């Protein structure tokens, strides 16, 4: 009979696999573009890193097997509910989620708002497929597991472990289509490093997260429709009008500069708001606060500003906000809280 030896000193970490390049395979070892994402199963991801057994007792679960450009609100609800169930168990100390990098920051921020636990939740991906020379998936997975197994990571909100760095779900963004250092927090700074098998933290977000939010997805089967309108020279009202006609309950305006509204777009957004659609002014710039009553009179228009959230994260907060309230005042409070 096989004797399974499990060290009692090691933390129990559940790895939830969702696909992405970390589970991708290419035709040759030099294939770093044009590979197929989401082909390797979670047990093989774990087998590829035997060193995991030294830092945690890991178990794997294949939740989805998708490229993350196909991540949907429904996937998020399934994932969040599973994470909450696992973290409520006394025999689970932390969760690692393997994920495609394209929308990793969005899933991370969604979970940051709806996971009800202080236990570590760490998202991880890879920029190179598992078959590539110097694939980054194995070391990233190792770092993510040791981070999720650490006491230091508890209570810090949902974290991302990529490229030997620890970053916060709210503030991290993918900044490069293909390089290994793509994940960055340019304006507010990363939280720390993982080195020599240990996490080193230097800062943390002051914004509320996880068990300290007012959001609860346990009874939700869907989320309100919120769409993003992109700002640019020569922009017209067609996108705003189309989203309103398609039933949007909220629109994120990814405006130029400090969230500026083009003269041709402003009437469309004003009329959307009059029809009850929540309008949030964000910026396509990627860094900085969108000033309330700056480039537009938000008080008069009854608009909300996104603070420093990028448009794709503003969409997530607005969807969750709309599950609680229709009040623009209350929603503005949430944008300054989370
Ligand atoms: N590096 C990646 O993970 C990108 C692969 C794929 N587009 C995804 O996001 O899942």
pLDDT digits (tens, 9 = 90+) for 190-201: 999 999 999 999
Q: What is the DSSP string of 177-222?
A: SS-TT-EE-TTT---EEEETTEEEE-----S--GGGSS---TT-S-
Interface ipTM = 0.97
- Percent of the chain whose predicted confidence (pLDDT) is above 70: 98
- Select from 3.40.630.10, 3.40.50.1170, 1.10.10.10, 3.30.70.920 the CATH code of 11-212: 3.40.50.1170
Do 11-212 and 226-335 show the same overall fold?
yes
Digit-coded pLDDT (tens) for 48-98: 999 999 999 999 999 999 999 999 999 999 999 999 999 999 999 999 999
171 lines ligand 1 (CB under 6 A): no
Record the pTM. 0.97
Distance from residue 99's CA to the centre of ligand 1 (Å): 8
Nearest Cα neighbor of 155 from 109, 190, 116 is 116
216 annotated to bind ligand:
no
Residue ranges covered by each domain of the chain: 11-212, 226-335
Rama region for 195: left / alpha / beta (φ>0; ψ in -120 to 50; rest): beta
Q: How far is the CA of 303 from the centre of ligand 1 (A)?
A: 34
CATH topology of domain 226-335: Rossmann fold (3.40.50)
* pLDDT greater than 70 at residue 6: no
Catalytic annotation, pick one of 18, 32, 98, 101: 101
Residue 102 assigned as binding residue: yes
Banded pLDDT at 114 (limits 50, 70, 90)? very high
Q: Is the separation of the CB atoms in 55 and 197 below 8 Å?
A: yes
Percent residues over pLDDT 90 in the chain: 97
pLDDT tens, position by position, 141-189: 999 999 999 999 999 999 999 999 999 999 999 999 999 999 999 999 9
Q: Is the pLDDT of residue 8 over 70?
A: no
Q: Is 302 helix (H, G, I), strand (E, B) or coil?
A: coil
Interval 240-260 mean pLDDT: 98
């Amino acid at each position: 009979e096989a004797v399974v030896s499990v060290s009692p000193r090691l933390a129990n970490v559940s790895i939830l696999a969702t696909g992405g390049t970390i589970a991708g395979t290419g035709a040759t070892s030099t294939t770093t573009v044009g590979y197929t994402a989401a082909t390797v199963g979670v047990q093989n991801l774990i087998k590829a890193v035997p060193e995991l057994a030294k830092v945690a007792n890991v178990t794997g679960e294949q939740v989805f097997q998708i490229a993350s450009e196909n991540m949907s609100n429904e996937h998020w609800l399934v994932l969040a509910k599973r994470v909450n169930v696992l973290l409520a168990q006394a025999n689970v100390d932390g969760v690692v989620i393997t994920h495609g990098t394209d929308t990793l920051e969005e899933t991370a921020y969604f979970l940051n708002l709806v996971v009800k636990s202080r236990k570590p939740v760490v998202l991880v991906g890879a920029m190179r497929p598992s078959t590539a020379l110097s694939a980054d998936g194995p070391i990233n997975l190792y770092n993510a597991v040791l981070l999720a197994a650490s006491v230091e990571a508890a209570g810090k909100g949902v974290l991302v472990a990529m490229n030997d760095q620890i970053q916060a779900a709210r503030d991290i963004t993918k900044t490069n289509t293909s390089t290994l250092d793509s994940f960055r927090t340019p304006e507010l700074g990363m939280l720390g490093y993982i080195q020599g098998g240990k996490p080193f933290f230097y800062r943390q977000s002051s914004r509320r997260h996880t068990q300290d939010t007012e959001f609860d997805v346990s009874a939700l089967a869907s989320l309100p429709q919120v769409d993003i309108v992109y700002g640019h020279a020569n922009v017209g009202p067609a996108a705003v009008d189309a989203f309103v006609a398609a039933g949007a309950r909220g629109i994120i305006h990814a405006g130029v500069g400090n969230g500026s509204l083009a003269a041709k777009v402003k009437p469309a957004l004003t009329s959307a708001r009059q029809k009850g659609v929540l309008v949030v002014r964000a910026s396509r710039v990627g860094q900085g606060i969108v000033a309330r009553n700056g480039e537009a009179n938000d008080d008069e228009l009854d608009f909300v500003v996104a603070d420093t959230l990028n448009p794709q994260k503003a969409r997530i907060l607005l969807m969750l906000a709309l599950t609680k309230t229709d009040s623009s005042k209350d929603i503005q409070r949430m944008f300054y809280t989370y």
